[in-house]
Chains A and B, each alone.
Chain A
Amino acid sequence: MTRRLALLATLLLALPAATVQPAAAERLVVSLSNHRVEITSNFTGADLVLFGTIEPNKGATTTYRGNYDLVVTVTGPQQTYRTRRKERVAGIFVNADSREFVKVPSYLAVLSNRPVKDITAPETLRRLQIGLDNYILTQRIGPDFADTVPDDPFRVAFVRLKKDQKLYTQSPTAVTFLTRTVYRAEIPLPADARTGTYNVDVKLFADGAMVAQTQTALEVIKTGFEQYVAEGAADYGFLYGLATILMALAIGWIASVMFRKD
């Protein structure tokens, strides 16, 4: 706890990533415990910590006395996915129908201090794309692009499968207020998080209305042997194949020498 407070103190002194919202009475100051996450081979996931304070804006005449609410939305690099559904055809189960989810985040975390539906009105949640149900996941259905209703079976299945992989999460307890204006949020990052830039969007609510918003970003970099192999396979297919087969032949040859019977 003392270390955490010490860290907090340095962060507060440094006041990084401050964004000024001119019209509002409040502004958000945030900083991440780590802007660069290195995923090594024995990485089993990590919790990044976002710290911040709510500062009164210069010249603000009114001050809010109630409790603030905070929603942090973290989005990972975009990817296009296909969600497939098996159906029984002639007695056996085959992938019959599918939907493509075009350029959706590979990682999506919605973190708040209490359930988002209690923070503000449903239409505000929809407009600001807060929550897994309200985040726009563009589907391609034939030639058309559209986001469907939250209870579309393909959308539900896609979100559920991503949640199972811990790549999509929604937590109403991940944000905690240390005091009325000092908060911290834990961003859970699973081991198979994609490399790239992750955008962190922080929205502050007072009495159900958004009063301040700020953004920051973090970078996920993978290092280590596995990443080296994965990159080799993706970028240098021919050389990778050649190296793999040479390794195979070498092992076959070693076995032949070691266990030679004739």
Chain B
Amino acid sequence: MQIYLPIADLPVNIFLILGLGLAVGFLSGMFGIGGGFLMTPLLIFIGISPAVVVASVSPQIAASLFTGFLAHLRRGTIDFMLGGMLLIGGVAGTLGGVWIFTLLRSVDQLDLLIALSYVTLLGVVGVLMVTEGLRAISRARHGGRADLRRPGSHTWIHGLPLKMRFKRSRIYISVIPVWVIGLIIGLLGSILGIGGGFLLVPMLIYLLRVPTMTVIGTGMMLTLTTMVAATVLHAVANHLVDAVLALVLMVGGVIGAQFGVRIGQNMRGEWLRLLLGVLVLLVGLRFAVSLVLTPADPYSVRVVRTQ
């Protein structure tokens, strides 16, 4: 059944989009990720304009994050103080990201930036995940215990001024790196159509020593807000948010996630990470190929103004 996407200006098969939502939702439930870094590339690969995709996945990610956020809210595993500080950077980053997005779009280089960023980001993250996963598997084979990196040692980050005590997370740290992390997540999220949880969580754990108990919920507080801000700002600045596309993705994503969670609980953690790493690498590779190969049609047309 074909539906017409009003902003993408494209007829698509509703079951294809619903299926994508289900599949990515399934993976996101399985791996405990938002799935934006898979959803955005897949939608670009099926031929929807990257600008529309980036703007339209933001509400979909927000929907799935809100479900998670509510669960953490009930469990009380959110550090509102830390989340609030992250938000300051996050909202500033989103504003900056949407501004860069609009600017690059006007000079026809947005698609290039999106592709290059994905190659870099997914390449680095994918390699890290695969090596880490392989190491963990070989450790498990040789009977060794998984190495739990203990937060404790101080780094240069702990020497920065403007220190603040975050009671819920039991950390005493400068707000500068907190703002910077929020800023990075906001920037990347609004330009690339990702929540950024897969980058944020390691940063919070390894750089700020946020305990595992509060890290996910607090991270969601930031990514949820940046996605809400990104949706509204993209709608105001570029009029590119396709609500129909977002709605179909949301429905698929929410349902898929529920199945994913169940499967994920029965799988070994290291295998899960290895699998995700391979997936991330494949998507990155696909972007790299599209940049290097001679395009089927070097020409493209874009509407500049409607008279």
Contacts and interface: CB of A to CB of B under 8 A. Distances in A.
Contacts of A254: 254
A226 B234 CA distance: 19
Nearest to A241: B235
Interface residues of A, number: 57
A86 interface: yes
B232 interface: yes
A253 B62 CA distance: 11
Interface stretch (A2-10, A113-121, A154-162, A213-221): A154-162
A222 B98 CA distance: 30
A226 B293 CA distance: 36
A78 B307 contact: yes
Given A233-B241, A248-B250, A93 B233 contact: no
* Interface size grouping (class) on chain B: 35 or more
A80 B254 CA distance: 40
A158 B299 CA distance: 8
A82 B67 contact: no
B230 to A, nearest CB: 9
B46 interface: no
In this complex, the member of A83, A103, A162, A245 whose beta carbon has the largest number of chain B beta carbons within 10 angstroms is A245
B232 A251 contact: no
Contacts of B28: none
Interface string A70-108: 000000011111111111100111110010100100000
Contact of A233 (B6, B74, B112, B302): B6
A87 B299 CA distance: 10
Given A87-B298, A233-B7, A238-B232, A79 B303 contact: yes
A241 B237 CA distance: 10
Interface in B243-280: 243-244, 246-247, 250-251, 254, 257-258
Contact of A81 (B64, B251, B297, B301): B301
A240 interface: yes
Contacts of B157: none
A229 interface: yes
Interface string A159-175: 01110000000000000
Nearest to B64: A252
A64 interface: no
A85 B298 contact: yes
Given A95-B109, A157-B299, A245-B62, A255 B254 contact: yes
Interface of A: 41, 77-88, 91-95, 98, 100, 103, 154, 157-158, 160-162, 191-192, 194, 226-227, 229-230, 233-234, 237-238, 240-245, 247-249, 251-256, 259-262
25 contacts: A79-B307, A82-B108, A86-B295, A86-B300, A87-B298, A92-B291, A93-B292, A93-B294, A226-B4, A230-B6, A233-B240, A233-B241, A233-B242, A241-B235, A241-B236, A243-B243, A244-B235, A244-B243, A245-B62, A251-B254, A252-B62, A252-B63, A252-B64, A253-B70, A262-B75
